[in-house]
Amino acid sequence: MDGELAVIGLGTVGSMALWRATRRPGVRAGEVVGFEARTPGHNRSAVGGDTRLFRMTYRRGPRYAPLLERANVLWPELEAETGQEILTRCGGVYIGERDGAYLPELIATAKENGTPIEILEHDELAARYPQHGLRPDDCAVFDPRAGFLRTDRAVLAATEAAREAGASLVEDTAIDEIHEEPDGVVLRSGASSWRFERVIVTAGGWSGQLLPPPLAAAVHPRRNYLTWFVARRPEEFAPERFPVFGRIERDRSLYGAPSTDGVTVKATLDGRSQPAEDADRVVRELTDEEITEAQETVAEFLPGLIPRIVRADAYPDLFTEDHAPLLGTVPGRSRTVFATGFSGAGFKMAPASAEAAIAIAFGEPATEVTGFEPTRFTGRLPHIRASSTASRRS
């Protein structure tokens, strides 16, 4: 055996898995090994783009609440352990029409979960956050625990904390084969191979190449782009005055974060991800249509920004058919845990997803992953052989 636990892919979730594994009672930290095809937190992964929104109000349904609540505890824990500022809690404001499709669902989910929120009627919203160009029917939900996460800092804080505890990192090494046997899991990269007691697959947009066929058929990498604009008065968009926001109207949508550099503001059209042929070949340039729509939306929604994109980029993430992650094992492969397919939403809950994956790897029940079991996709094929080999990376 080369170790007790291997983590494949040290991006968002893999870095958290490495860190949480070294904190788990009973795990020998010196026997935890992370493999990364490039370097941890490299900016061609879903870590790219500086920040991600953290929010406790979530319209994808109540099943995310346990992961969000746990992540809400674990991010500050990572900060306390490493002395790094990772989560800036500037609050979150979610804007839409009073009776539209967005806010009623958000309010209903928050009520169901007992998530503290504040409802801001139109005039109060206009007074508190004059940066938003409102329509007459607009009101908002305020999430006091929301904020933004510093992505690359988070990943490096977690991998360094794990390394200091004794974990090993194997960089520039893409695992191209996973072969589960009754008493261990063999990993191969080119001519090298390793054997571990258990493995967690956190390869993000690339995971499809390491999944058994029925799961591989249910996932696909998608291109997600981000755009940044210059603020006319940057102080109005500082974290103390401008919470993260999401806004969905009948005809337009936008989300973003306050300025982190005192100049630019991230403001991006919502829900615009598109299929990518390959996570390594995501088109980084925006089309003329994407540029025009983003600039027109910013001109209406955030008049304090100059409506010209000054920075844009695109990154891969792995989406599942139902846009819920894969968190768990499949029949016949109990030593290989999948924690992938976060479908454009996985950063905020990454440490909690990672912790749940570790619990599953060590044979413990993880109630917070109910509804995310990979078996929801394996039911459609007769079975997966215990010794099945993942498809080789091309």
Which residues of this chain interact with ligand FAD, rule CB under 6 A?
8-14, 35-38, 42, 45-47, 49, 52-53, 174-175, 202-206, 210, 224, 226, 315, 317, 340, 342, 344-348, 393
Work out how close the CB of 48 gets to ligand FAD at its nearest, in angstroms, rounded to a whole number: 7
Question: Which residue lies nearer to ligand FAD by CB, 66 or 204?
Answer: 204
Question: Which residue lies nearer to ligand FAD by CB, 134 or 357?
Answer: 357
Determine the Cα–Cα distance for residues 54 and 81; give it in Å rounded to an integer: 20
Question: Which residue lies nearer to ligand FAD by CB, 233 or 392?
Answer: 392
Question: Which residue lies nearer to ligand FAD by CB, 124 or 152?
Answer: 152
Work out how close the CB of 204 gets to ligand FAD at its nearest, in angstroms, rounded to a whole number: 2
Q: Which helix (H) or strand (E) holds 113?
A: helix 103-113
Contact 80, 295 (CB under 8 A): no
Work out how close the CB of 181 gets to ligand FAD at its nearest, in angstroms, rounded to a whole number: 19
Work out how close the CB of 53 gets to ligand FAD at its nearest, in angstroms, rounded to a whole number: 3
Q: Which residues pair with 364 in a beta bridge?
A: none
Determine the Cα–Cα distance for residues 381 and 260; give it in Å rounded to an integer: 48
Contact 339, 369 (CB under 8 A): no
Work out how close the CB of 211 gets to ligand FAD at its nearest, in angstroms, rounded to a whole number: 11
- Pick from 107, 112, 171: nearest CA to 143: 107
Give every CB contact of residue 247 below 8 A, 6+ residues apart in sequence.
94, 95, 96, 132, 253, 254, 255, 270, 301
Question: Which residue lies nearer to ligand FAD by CB, 98 or 187?
Answer: 187
Ramachandran bin of 172, using left for φ above 0, alpha for ψ from -120 to 50, beta for the remaining angles: left
For ligand FAD, the nearest residue by Cβ is: 11
Work out how close the CB of 338 gets to ligand FAD at its nearest, in angstroms, rounded to a whole number: 10
As a dihedral over the C-alpha atoms of residue 206, residue 208, residue 212, residue 215, rounded to 10 degrees, the angle is 140
Residue type, 256: G
Question: Which residue lies nearer to ligand FAD by CB, 79 or 124?
Answer: 79
Contact 340, 319 (CB under 8 A): no
